[in-house]
Amino acid sequence: EAGVAQSPRYKIIEKRQSVAFWCNPISGHATLYWYQQILGQGPKLLIQFQNNGVVDDSQLPKDRFSAERLKGVDSTLKIQPAKLEDSAVYLCASSLGARLFFGPGTRLTVL
Amino acid sequence: AQSVTQLDSHVSVSEGTPVLLRCNYSSSYSPSLFWYVQHPNKGLQLLLKYTSAATLVKGINGFEAEFKKSETSFHLTKPSAHMSDAAEYFCVVSVPSGTYKYIFGTGTRLKVLA
- What secondary structure letter does DSSP report for A5? E
Higher-pLDDT residue of B29 and B98 is: B29
Question: Which percentage of chain A shows pLDDT scores above 70?
Answer: 99
Model confidence at B14, pLDDT cuts 50, 70, 90, reads very high
* Mean predicted lDDT score pLDDT of chain B: 91
Distance separating alpha carbons of residues B109 and B1, to the nearest angstrom? 26
Extract long-range pairs of A67-75: CB within 8 Å, 24+ residues apart: A67/A34, A69/A32, A72/A30, A73/A24, A73/A25, A74/A22, A74/A23, A74/A24, A74/A25, A75/A22, A75/A23, A75/A25, A75/A32, A75/A34, A75/A49
Q: Does A103 touch chain B (CB under 8 A)?
A: yes
Mean pLDDT, rounded, for B17-41: 91
Mean pLDDT, rounded, for A80-84: 97
pLDDT over threshold 90, residue B98: no
Mean pLDDT, rounded, for A23-37: 94
Range in A6-15, A36-45, A53-62, B95-104 the model is least confident about: B95-104
* Mean predicted lDDT score pLDDT of chain A: 93
| Cross-chain CB nearest to B99 (options A31, A40, A103) | A31
Model confidence at A25, pLDDT cuts 50, 70, 90, reads very high
Distance separating alpha carbons of residues B24 and B92, to the nearest angstrom? 10
pLDDT of residue A7: 96
Secondary structure E strands in chain B? 3-6, 10-14, 19-21, 23-26, 32-38, 44-50, 56-58, 64-68, 73-78, 87-97, 99-104, 108-113
Inter-chain CB proximity A56 and B102 less than 8 Å: no
Residue numbers in A near B34 (CB within 8 A): 99-100
Q: What angle do CA B17, B21, B26 make, to 5 degrees?
A: 160
Mean pLDDT, rounded, for A3-11: 95
Question: Which percentage of chain B shows pLDDT scores above 90?
Answer: 72
| Among the listed residues B85, B59, B71, the one whose alpha carbon sits nearest the alpha carbon of residue B22 | B71
Name the H helices within B22-103: none
Closest A-chain CA to B106: A42
pLDDT of residue A1: 61
3-state class of A39 per DSSP?
A: coil
pLDDT of residue B37: 95
Inter-chain CB proximity A45 and B96 less than 8 Å: no
Distance separating alpha carbons of residues B12 and B18, to the nearest angstrom? 11
